[in-house]
Chains A and B, each alone.
Chain A
Amino acid sequence: MSPVDVTAMLRQWSDGDAAAAAQLAPVVYAELRRVAHRYLRHERPDHTLRSAELVHEAYLRLVDLKQARWQDRAHFFAVSGQIMRRILVDHARARLREKRGAGATLVALNEAIDLPEQRSFEVIALDDALEGLAKLDPQQSRVVELRFFAGLSVEETAEALGVSRATVNRDWVTARAWLLRELSRR
């Protein structure tokens, strides 16, 4: 799929075409994988891959910047947040399965992601808790998705959700409290 196509799909999506979003996700997913692999080959001893870098680079590679509007970037971030969450949760599950000797094949990105065991448990538990929060407060759950899973900054999260930075900060501190309490009860 060429950059123009992705840009056009983002445009259709922001114009209300849900099917465009469905078509877009696998493309973004594949690109995130490619970027991760490329990073792996040029790995530096002092550098570990960050999800925000992945998302940014995938955006630069997929989207025709000459045609893109800022809304396109926001939509791209929004969809990337969900995908990064799935990728990381799947990865964490696979890692823990492997640990138990089930011999499962790791899903994509595994070479590039290095989630330590403790982190894997945390990611899975958070994913669960986040579903509870989404029922109560969908926007807060999206803020956590973008900040924690996609690694986006406050500004980028605000952009992706179309809200102010103050709102993102506010949602983040309250969501954080809710999630930590939830996790401590488990």
Chain B
Amino acid sequence: MSTCQIAEKSLQPGAIVVVSWDMPDGASSPMDAQEWVRVREILHRALELRPELRAAWLDEACGGSPGIRGEVESLLAASDRSAFLDHPAMAPASGLLPGRRISHYEVVEKIGEGGMGAVYKAIDTRLDRPVALKVLARGQGTWSHERRFAREAKAASALNHPNIVTIYEFDTHEGLDFLSMEYVQGTTLHQLLEQRTLPLDTLLGYARQAAGAVARAHQAGIVHRDLKPGNIMVTTDGIVKVLDFGLAKRQSAESEQDATQTALTMAGTVVGTPAYMSPEQANSEQEDWRTDIFSFGVILYEIACGRRPFEGRNTHSIMHQIVHAEAPAPSQVNPSVPPGLAALIGKCLAKDRAARPQSMDQVADALGALAQAPPAPKPRSMTRRIWVAGGAVAAAAAAGLWFSRTPARAIVYGLEAQQYRDGEPAGSVYAASAADTFEGGWRFRLRVRPAQSGFLYLINEGPGDTGKSRYWVLFPAGASAPALEANRETTTGWYAFDSNPGVEKLWIVWSEHALAPVEETLRGGTLGEVKDPAQADRIQSILAELKPPAESTAAGQASSVQWRAAEGVMGAAIELRHR
């Protein structure tokens, strides 16, 4: 790695700066640098661990070097402080600084940024209650923006519904236009969908509440026009609040001028993601309340399938698909979507608005009816079966999202499958659920999201020649396992399963520290195959700790999910067996 240094001490206007790229010089003694590398590695690992686990790690890593340990400990202590370093030197934060007063509101902190301006948490000093304050960005204060802003305030304040954010006031103070509204503490549906931890029926319950709110707005002649998961909040009590009627307009007051303005808005500069647009919006055509029904269909699709119906590299390609392409059928993406839900989604996503449900009430009712319906059976012929036992996994599978919920165990994972023909993927990726069966030619991959940072391994165990097991390290593919960030989803590559008779197991192993025998294998250049019997024994002893209790296998149960939190290692096994 080359370095880049400025030779000039202080830069004055017009001064010549000499920039050179060199190898680092030996200004510090090699001993210092060497020591630093060690301290740095230990420190970094320690920072990834929960504070209560750090001491154990330091015991292990600094054994016999009190100097290094002292160094790491003092650095750890320093790192706990919040510091000025956490904001760039210039302008600690954009927007209004805490404490700034606007009329009788006092800004507490910035909580979001929308198309037209920033949103702050503020205190209404007269009523002494928290509010959300939306401040129209001055720099963008064009006539159309301000007009739209006023329209939002009027439209939304006319609505009174428990699932719609209440607007308190709209005013101007020292040249800043602002809107104060109910302060909602919670999470957006967008965040909930990204977490992928909630079961389908819970998410559908939220959708139903939102549908009722939008239906109420439609009855008042107000179209939301920007429905998306980011505009749907869920409070800590599970109450849904639809936000941001930012583009709403009164249908009766529609004029030629408004239609032009709509087209301007739709040009994509102000509105963020186009993924939830209706075909008529994407075409800049006249739109009505049924545009919301299409957008709502996109949200339902995302809830059911874990992806959006229209995806593309850029705005243009997404908009083109919205207008011209049919979304992949929900059952194709996730076979466990109840047929009733798939049908409702299909209707909402009709390109022709006359073919959609004609009112949001109908959508809300359909969602209510679905809540009563039993889950769908799963058709498939089989040559091979994957069992994944365990209550949490089964519950999640029935809910259509095959992500096991392990709140105390802290790892969320899912198995995805795809059919391959002649080495090429055929059909779409499918979120596998418990008790699914697959014909030959299928490949599998895992999506894993640990709640803590650490190292992830995927190890295949199959029968060996000598009665002992043979191991292959499938993941990672490189020479060493990268440290994974907490709550970051990792997707492995695709693996074809061994077609030899017998049982094979797929071990998902997560560890707080790199597992030495596995790392040795990775470095050994055997493409993950564990050839050294000593390494195999060490790996086996790690996995043995993760094996399920004897009674569970004795009952003829073919698979197991077993987690062990001790010593910072957790694992799950998916067992695969020929019939």
Q: Which residues of A approach B to under 8 Å, CB–CB?
A: 18, 21-22, 24-26, 29-30, 33, 42, 44-52, 54, 78-79, 82-84, 86-90, 107-108, 113-115, 119, 122-123, 126, 134-139, 142, 144, 147-151, 163, 166, 169-170, 173-174, 176-181, 184
Contacts and interface: CB of A to CB of B under 8 A. Distances in A.
B137 interface: yes
Contacts of B138: 44-47
Contacts of A163: 1
A46 B15 CA distance: 34
Given A22-B17, A26-B14, A50-B94, 16 more contacts: A42-B139, A45-B138, A47-B95, A49-B91, A78-B4, A84-B89, A86-B8, A86-B11, A136-B28, A136-B33, A142-B3, A148-B89, A169-B485, A173-B47, A181-B77, A181-B78
Contact of B81 (A78, A83, A108, A180): A180
Interface stretch (B19-27, B353-361, B403-411, B508-516): B19-27
A176 B176 contact: no
A81 B23 CA distance: 19
B49 to A, nearest CB: 12
Contact of A22 (B13, B18, B79, B139): B18
B424 interface: no
Nearest to B71: A181
B46 to A, nearest CB: 10
Interface string B67-109: 0000000111111010111001111101110000000000000
Contacts of B118: 46
B483 A21 contact: no
11 contacts: A26-B16, A42-B139, A46-B137, A84-B89, A86-B17, A123-B89, A136-B28, A166-B485, A176-B85, A177-B78, A177-B79
Nearest to A33: B13
A123 B13 CA distance: 20
A126 B47 contact: no
Contacts of A149: 88-89
Contacts of B32: 136
A163 B16 CA distance: 29
B175 interface: yes
A113 B88 CA distance: 13
Contacts of B482: 166
A47 B139 contact: yes
A138 B24 contact: yes
A147 B88 contact: yes
Nearest to A181: B78
A103 to B, nearest CB: 17
A151 B88 contact: yes
B84 A122 contact: yes
A78 B135 CA distance: 35
B284 to A, nearest CB: 28
Contact of A181 (B1, B6, B28, B75): B75
Interface string B393-406: 00000000000000
Contacts of A147: 88
A18 B138 CA distance: 44
A10 B14 CA distance: 19
B90 A170 contact: no
Contact of B85 (A30, A49, A148, A174): A148
Nearest to A28: B17
B352 to A, nearest CB: 41
Contacts of A151: 88-91
Contacts of B3: 138-139, 142
Contact of A44 (B18, B81, B88, B137): B137
A145 B483 CA distance: 25
A177 B42 CA distance: 13
Contacts of B47: 173-174, 177
Given A29-B11, A181-B78, A51 B89 contact: yes
Top 4 nearest A-B pairs (CB, nearest first) are: A151-B88, A177-B79, A181-B78, A25-B17
A170 B13 contact: no
Contacts of A184: 78
Contacts of B175: 45
Given A107-B13, A173-B79, A21 B89 contact: no
B31 to A, nearest CB: 11
Contacts of B483: 166, 170
A135 B33 CA distance: 8
B83 A18 contact: no
A135 B27 contact: yes
A48 B175 CA distance: 17
Nearest to B43: A174
Given A87-B11, A136-B36, A179-B85, A50 B95 contact: no
B76 A46 contact: no
A105 to B, nearest CB: 11
B465 to A, nearest CB: 39
Given A21-B20, A137-B36, A173 B44 contact: yes
Contacts of A169: 485
A79 B92 CA distance: 22
B347 to A, nearest CB: 40
Contacts of A115: 89-90
B10 A180 contact: no
Interface in B23-55: 24, 27-28, 32-33, 36, 40, 43-44, 47
Contacts of B24: 138
B90 A49 contact: yes
A44 B96 CA distance: 11
